[in-house]
Structure 1
Amino acid sequence: MLNFNHLAIAFCLFLVFQTANSQLGFSHEIGVIAGPVEFRSDFGSRFSEATNLGNSGIGIGIIHYINFAYRADCNCYSTDTYFNDHFKLRNEISWNYTVLDHHGEWVQPRYTSPNADKLRAHHGVAENFDIGTQIEYFPRSIRSFQAFSYLLAPYISLGIHYTSSSPQGSTDYGDKNIFNGNNIYSYWYQDPSFLPPVPAGETREYPINLNQRGDWSMVTSVGVRYKIGVLSDLLLDLRWQLYFNDWVDGFNHKLSYNKFNDWLIWLNVGYVYYLD
């Protein structure tokens, strides 16, 4: 299982690889990002705005770019090709943390059933370390932006990340054992008629799993850079990240209205410095 140490080692290998790239004529940029995260999971109803706003956290990260438009070995522009002038490669290591609760209609005080009490008593945490790469496309010339021909440079990106997740979960209901099915909202787990039959010889998977795990995810974003100096930019980036499983939050109840994999939206601001 991948943990934070593995992520750190992998990121160091990224940097070694990128340093080697500088000998091929590329240049480098490094920066930091931070901002609010909305984590969309099986806590609450998927499309409930109360859930989406209530289950918000924070993300921070370190980013590294390969700039194909400028050569580090000669402090000059690289060959003027469309790719060199419109694409950058972005490497990143980041962390996000979100406290999760059930929000929305079914936890309102007017509901006094045991199931409503179980929902209100169930809490969780999504904590994730990410490492990955994205390709960023700038519709406007990167060379012209670096030369102050304009101050704003919009971009879009697409990439893949590997995530080490450390979910947490607890309940204040009953004997407070989160792995006791009587303490969570789990009628569908205890009553097989609500879900497809389990193959012979197998048991129904319990809907909570708090083990650390590693998973892949797809990342796409839209953003803009604002030039504040010869060697520095500010950036604003809106990210959508889709995980390739539904256990990142440690909770997977498989009900039809929450059947999608976990995902998040991250609005981050950052600062980028040109190393060469």
Structure 2
Amino acid sequence: MNTKILVAVLTLCLTTPFTGKAQLTFSNEVGVIAGPLLFQSDFGLRYDTDTNLNNQAWGIGIVHYFNFSYRADCNCYTRDRYFNDHFKLRSEADLHYTPLTHEGKESEKDTPEGRDLRDHKGSSLVFELGMQLEYFPLSLRDFQAGAYKIAPYISLGAHFVSFKPNHSSVQDIPGATPQDIYFDPFLIGDGGDLGGISSNAGTTWALTGSIGIRYKLTILSDLNLEFRYHKYHSDWVDGLNPDPEFYSPNKYDDSIVWLNIGYIYYLNF
């Protein structure tokens, strides 16, 4: 998907509801989220425990919600329709930075190849901007009125993604060639400054999905607990994308799994 088109669509979705303030049929919520995430990439073995434990970081985000069950212009509930009472539109900006290392049985071998893997370090700084549509099986009106404390939900959306990877090795000394420093199959590929290894910034998009719960703190505030999955439409987010013909484990695009907790505040406009 062309990223310029995606940005234009997201901008239109964010600005259209404000074009006619007299006809606002929603209210606004804002909040912050933060929590640990696991970066699933070509560093290490995807389903290896050590890989999952070591290639992790923290992400933070700022979120905004359109609440269709309550009207800001009259401080009253909207028309009692199913969509208004069960859906919220969420926009957000996220930032996360992950240091990456090679883990698993291949990197643990006492061989030149194992040493090359162990000495190869990476990182990825990622900024995301996007929207999700959240579905609440229980009534949002009842939740806001305090009929129950917990409201579960699921969501699906898309993000524009800007990323900046980096790579290094302790073997990178004056006079050494890339073949001396890095695991040779990683050097075969297109797009990186070292074949399948890259420190080039780039953009892509991500499909996002989540399950979560809201916990009612006060009439105007909630706690939010959420488990999320971001599937990137690129294998360069981590800066490593060797040719799968020469490195068969390279089968998947990059992704993250993110557990976050947030604080949401209901605005009076």
Q: Report the TM-score when normalising by structure 2.
A: 0.88
Once the 2 structures are TM-superposed, how far is the Cα of residue 209 of structure 1 from its aligned partner?
A: 1.6
Q: 1:169 corresponds to which residue?
A: 167
**Pair 1:143-2:141 in alignment:** yes
Decide whether the 8 Å contact of 1:225 with 1:235 is kept in 2: yes
Write out the 4+ residue segments of structure 1 that deviate beyond 3 Å after TM superposition.
Answer: 10-23, 176-179, 187-190
Q: In the TM superposition, what are the counterparts of 1:178-189 in structure 2 within 5 Å? A: 180-187=178-185, 189=187
Partner Cα distance (1:179, 1:159) in 2? 43
Q: Give per-residue Cα distances to partners, 1:9-61, cap 9 Å, x unaligned.
A: x9998765554465422100000000001000000011111101110001000
Q: 1:48 corresponds to which residue?
A: 48
**Pair 1:245-2:237 in alignment:** no
Distance 1:223 1:140, change over 3 A: same
C-alpha root-mean-square deviation of aligned residues, in Å? 2.7
Q: Give per-residue Cα distances to partners, 1:159-192, cap 9 Å, x unaligned.
A: 00011001111111253799823311124756xx
Decide whether the 8 Å contact of 1:160 with 1:219 is kept in 2: yes
**Pair 1:154-2:148 in alignment:** no
Q: 1:202 corresponds to which residue?
A: none
Distance 1:43 1:90, change over 3 A: same
Partner Cα distance (1:171, 1:247) in 2? 18
More divergent stretch after superposition (168-177 vs 38-47): 168-177
Distance 1:176 1:266, change over 3 A: farther
Q: In the TM superposition, what are the counterparts of 1:161-240 in structure 2 within 5 Å? A: 161-175=159-173, 180-187=178-185, 189=187, 206-240=195-229
Once the 2 structures are TM-superposed, how far is the Cα of residue 64 of structure 1 from its aligned partner?
A: 0.2
**How many equivalent residue pairs?**
258
Partner Cα distance (1:13, 1:206) in 2? 38
Decide whether the 8 Å contact of 1:179 with 1:208 is kept in 2: no
Once the 2 structures are TM-superposed, how far is the Cα of residue 210 of structure 1 from its aligned partner?
A: 1.1
Runs of at least 5 residues in structure 1 that lack an aligned partner in the other structure = 199-204
Partner Cα distance (1:131, 1:178) in 2? 40
Distance 1:232 1:177, change over 3 A: farther
Distance 1:124 1:75, change over 3 A: same
* Counterpart secondary structure, 1:257: coil
**Pair 1:74-2:63 in alignment:** no
Distance 1:103 1:219, change over 3 A: same
Q: Give per-residue Cα distances to partners, 1:222-264, cap 9 Å, x unaligned.
A: 0000000010000001000000010000111233223100000
Q: 2:132 corresponds to which residue?
A: 134
Percent of residue pairs bearing the same amino acid type:
45
Runs of at least 5 residues in structure 2 that lack an aligned partner in the other structure = none
